[in-house]
């Protein structure tokens, strides 16, 4: 006899994203990281959540944080579905947004504030992982000024990129350097252009993998995805640059593909998966994430980066890997919400900014005096 599917509890979901558009990043023809693409993704996510039976309110945050707070006080969501993403170079507001939502007393999807901050401060995260015994690329060094180069004995080739960016920002064809002169020039460019330190690492020559992770107390590793650079012409380094990620008209985008599931020997696949889970937990990741790993010349995995709240768009990235695991897009979204109610561990539910009667706007004061209870 076929079992009946468990009916999902109807939730009030606030789908929040960053609509600030005065980004410092200059638009490039064919760039698919635009505000328009973001809004299309948000609408798709809202439709999916509504299809699961939830009441969804889409909240865009640009300039007025108090306006967002008033809307939340009015809606009183069971959970805030966090899609806030920094769009200005060097901004570290993703962690502040998550902290603000928790201080209001609302559960939030994805990783907590500390993990989000660590995943953006790459050198700090890598140092933490190294201390926990997780392999990271050799030569990992933070250069706050060009003269710092003389303090280190570095071995080429190296890869140089901004220390606090994500989404491939600052990763270009000249990011892999083979001489001290090139290192100096790239470091100077990053410090001037991005107003942040340059992160230098030994360039690993092996295969590159994206490891999707889903869950709260119990993590599930998605089928491995491999980034295939074999079709790139000579002279273009095999790295996930900004162009390879976003610029659909570029050679990098057209000649770089992701193979999922990746063809990997079982013993190596387990080592990669175990390394990714340890890295994700070390940073404090929760709910869902992606760990980028590259092999060295001996075929051993090293963690490049932990992305705590990666893109959740349908058909790509984590969603693509989840589909290979038999998890549909709606099921993925529901799993992300479920994890929000499970934890993170040791996260004391202590709302601070609960509005007093009369402070939340007409008609909402009497409903806003108590924190929202987590659904059972």
pLDDT digits (tens, 9 = 90+) for 309-347: 999 999 999 999 999 999 999 999 999 999 999 988 778
Average pLDDT over residues 182-202: 96
pLDDT, greater one: 361 or 281: 281
Strand partners, 78: none
Identify the weakest region by mean pLDDT among 42-46, 75-79, 303-307, 358-362.
358-362
Average pLDDT over residues 164-175: 89
Contact 286, 343 (CB under 8 A): yes
Confidence at residue 360, expressed as pLDDT on a 0 to 100 scale: 41
pLDDT over threshold 80, residue 34: no
DSSP states of 78-96 as a string?
SEEEEE----STT--HHHH
Rg (CA), the chain: 21
Alpha-carbon gap, residue 293 to 229, rounded angstroms: 15
**By three-state DSSP, how is residue 9 classified?**
coil
Confidence at residue 202, expressed as pLDDT on a 0 to 100 scale: 97
| Parallel, antiparallel or unpaired: strands 55-61 and 79-83 | unpaired
* pLDDT category of residue 26 using cuts at 50, 70 and 90: low
* pLDDT category of residue 362 using cuts at 50, 70 and 90: very low
Identify the weakest region by mean pLDDT among 9-23, 41-55, 271-285.
9-23
Confidence at residue 7, expressed as pLDDT on a 0 to 100 scale: 53
Average pLDDT over residues 292-296: 98
Match 């504030």 to its residue by tokens: 113
Q: For the chain, where do the domains classified as CATH 3.30.1490.20 start and end?
A: 141-202
Alpha-carbon gap, residue 354 to 56, rounded angstroms: 22
pTM exceeds cut of 0.85: yes
Hey, how many other C-beta atoms are within 10 angstroms of the C-beta on 102? Answer: 21
pLDDT, greater one: 180 or 90: 180
- Looking at the domain that runs over 141-202, which CATH code has it been given? 3.30.1490.20
Q: For the chain, where do the domains classified as CATH 3.30.470.20 start and end?
A: 119-135+205-224+260-331
Mean pLDDT of the chain: 88
pLDDT over threshold 70, residue 90: no
* pLDDT category of residue 371 using cuts at 50, 70 and 90: very low
Confidence at residue 197, expressed as pLDDT on a 0 to 100 scale: 96
Confidence at residue 290, expressed as pLDDT on a 0 to 100 scale: 98
Could you name the CATH architecture of 119-135+205-224+260-331?
2-Layer Sandwich (3.30)
Q: Does the bond joining 344 to the residue before it have cis omega, within 30 degrees of 0? A: yes
* pLDDT category of residue 99 using cuts at 50, 70 and 90: very high
Residue of 107, 149, 136 whose CA lies nearest to 276: 136
| Parallel, antiparallel or unpaired: strands 287-295 and 176-177 | unpaired
């Amino acid at each position: 006899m076929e079992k009946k599917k468990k009916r999902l509890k109807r939730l009030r979901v606030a789908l929040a994203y960053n609509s600030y558009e005065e980004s410092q990043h200059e638009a490039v023809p064919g760039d698919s990281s635009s505000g328009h693409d973001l809004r299309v993704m948000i609408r798709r996510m809202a439709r999916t959540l509504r299809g699961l039976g939830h009441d969804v309110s889409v909240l865009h945050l640009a300039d007025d944080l108090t306006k967002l707070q008033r809307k939340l006080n009015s809606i009183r969501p069971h959970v805030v579905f966090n899609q806030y993403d920094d769009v200005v170079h060097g901004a570290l507001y993703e962690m502040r947004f998550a902290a603000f939502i928790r201080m209001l007393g609302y559960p939030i999807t994805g990783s907590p504030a500390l993990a989000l901050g660590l995943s953006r401060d790459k050198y700090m995260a890598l140092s933490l992982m190294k201390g926990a015994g997780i392999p990271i690329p050799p030569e990992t060094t933070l250069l706050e000024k060009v003269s710092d180069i003389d303090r280190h004995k570095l071995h080429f080739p190296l890869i140089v990129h901004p220390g606090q960016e994500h989404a491939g920002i600052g990763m270009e064809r000249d990011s892999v350097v083979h001489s001290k002169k090139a290192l100096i020039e790239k470091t100077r460019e990053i410090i001037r252009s991005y107003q942040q330190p340059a992160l230098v690492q030994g360039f690993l020559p092996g295969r590159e993998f994206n490891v999707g992770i889903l869950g709260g107390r119990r993590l599930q590793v998605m089928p491995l995805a491999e980034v295939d650079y074999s079709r790139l012409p000579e002279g273009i380094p095999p790295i996930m640059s900004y162009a390879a990620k976003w610029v659909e008209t570029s050679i990098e985008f057209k000649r770089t593909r992701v193979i999922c599931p990746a063809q990997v020997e079982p013993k190596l696949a387990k080592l990669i998966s175990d390394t990714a889970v340890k890295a994700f937990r070390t940073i404090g990741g929760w709910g869902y994430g992606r760990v980028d790993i590259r092999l060295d010349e001996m075929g051993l995995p090293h963690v490049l980066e932990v992305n705590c709240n990666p893109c959740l768009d349908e058909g790509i990235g984590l969603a693509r890997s989840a589909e290979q695991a038999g998890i549909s897009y709606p099921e993925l979204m529901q799993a992300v919400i479920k994890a929000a109610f499970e934890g993170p561990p040791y996260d004391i539910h202590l709302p601070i900014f609960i509005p007093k009667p009369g402070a939340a706007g007409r008609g909402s004061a009497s409903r806003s005096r108590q924190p929202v209870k987590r659904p059972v």
